[in-house]
Amino acid sequence: MRDGLEDVRALLPGMTLTLIEGELGRSGRASVRRVLADSVALIVKTFTEPEPGWVRESAALSVMPPGAPAPRLVAAGRTPPVVVMEDLGTGTCVADALLGADPAVAADGVVSWAAAIASLHRATLGAREAFRTELHDRARGTHVTDSPLAENLDDAGRDLARYCAELDVEVPAGALEQLGGLAARLGGDGERGDGDRDGAAALTPADACPDNNVRVGDGLVLIDFEGAQWRHVAWDVAYLMMPWPSCWCAWRMPDAVAERAVAAYRAAVGLSYVDSPEFDRDLAAAVAGWALMSTSWFLPRAMANEPPRPDRALIAPTRRAIILYRLDVARRSPELPALAELAGRLREALVARWGDVALALAPAFRDPS
């Protein structure tokens, strides 16, 4: 009987492979299966195309130093594009805790996430050239940059300009320039004035959502490096202040939980820069950047009167609630005044259309009464 593991057997010659569990997860980009290789459980991730997901994930995992909170790469093949990695087991993730009923468990989960991100940053601070080399070797002449942030911000600026025109919102002078300027301020160079060369930039999954991790022992291991890139550490830390900007489980969190998690990051990452006022300003800039960038992603469906899905009402908030909350945070930011003004104007126009849709706390943090 064919089990679809022929290509994996070619990567692991001499090992007896048995399919344990098929379709652990499937997206439009990849499918995930669990296999037994002799007596060792492994995860097999098969991509529909090599670029960019296979290129980025296999490159990132190939440069992970021992002890980094990421799966150990076992093998990778390009045709078909497959990544074989260690099986981390069936532990819970932060999303499970946020959707649960215990606020203490949820808070501890968020703090564990911050500690895992800090550990990843600390472990990969000097890995840029190695990551670039692995990307280049796998991309085979196609354009796969180690730091696509500038392209992402440019795309967001163009989209926001178009949406503002449709909504009759005047874009303040310099607002989109401030957004695009974050690529230089918070890009991949990481040059700070505190003696830590490249000390403010590291390898990131770029999509470290609450469900992209697995609890192993007392900590979390990060999974899903399909979007792995090199960028300023503030973009990941901002996930705590602008909760999970690229994710579905984007409920609000209590300020005290976010502050505790940021403190855990500062304590664990081992960079003097993150204890400085400069980092606080950069973090505020990243929060505003995420607010406007994610708004550019979510607006098309939010403006199309997409009907709510009752089956997801307790799992994910609506795009409208997410957008209005994020623009509200951004309009209060003193760090990028023109961008804050744009956020305020855009929010006002959307509230006139939708009403002031509130974003609730994550289920675990809600008052049960």
CB atoms within 10 A of CB 364: 22
Question: What three-state secondary structure class fits 41?
Answer: strand
Degrees to nearest 5, angle at CA 205 with 199 and 207: 120
Question: What three-state secondary structure class fits 319?
Answer: helix
DSSP state of 47: E
Section 56-62 average pLDDT: 98
- Please list, in sequence order, all residues whose beta carbon lies within 8 angstroms of the beta carbon of residue 119, skipping any fewer than 6 positions away: 67, 68, 69, 219, 268
pTM: 0.93
Round the average pLDDT of the chain to a whole number and report it: 92
- pLDDT tens-digit profile of 293-304? 999 999 999 998
Section 125-148 average pLDDT: 92
How far apart (Å, rounded) are the C-alpha atoms in residues 40 and 206? Answer: 29
| Tokens 């002890």, residue located | 67
pLDDT band at 4 (very low <50, low <70, confident <90, very high): confident
Token pair for 162: 């178009």
Residue 190 in this model has a pLDDT that exceeds 50: yes
pLDDT above 90 as % of the chain:
81
Distance, C-alpha 104 to centroid of its chain: 23
- pLDDT tens-digit profile of 111-132? 999 999 999 999 999 999 999 9
Degrees to nearest 5, angle at CA 90 with 84 and 95: 105
Query: Kind of pairing, strands 82-86 and 73-77?
Result: antiparallel
CB atoms within 10 A of CB 220: 27
Residue 279 in this model has a pLDDT that exceeds 80: yes
pLDDT above 70 as % of the chain:
93
Residue 193 in this model has a pLDDT that exceeds 50: no
User: Is 94 exposed, middle or buried (CB count within 10 Å of its CB: 0-12, 13-18, 19+)?
Assistant: buried
Contact between 179 and 339 under an 8 Å Cβ cutoff? The reply is: yes
Q: What are the DSSP calls for 129-162, one per residue?
A: HHHHHHHHHHHTTS---S-THHHHHHHHHHHHHH
Degrees to nearest 5, angle at CA 121 with 118 and 123: 105
How far apart (Å, rounded) are the C-alpha atoms in residues 191 and 74? Answer: 34
In Å, how far are 62, 298, 307 from 199, measured between CA atoms? 21, 32, 45
Predicted pLDDT at 310 = 56
- Homologous superfamily of 91-365: Aminoglycoside phosphotransferase (APH), C-terminal lobe (3.90.1200.10)
Residue 1 in this model has a pLDDT that exceeds 50: no
Section 279-301 average pLDDT: 96
How far apart (Å, rounded) are the C-alpha atoms in residues 193 and 73? Answer: 35
β-pair partners for 35? 19, 42
Question: What three-state secondary structure class fits 78?
Answer: coil
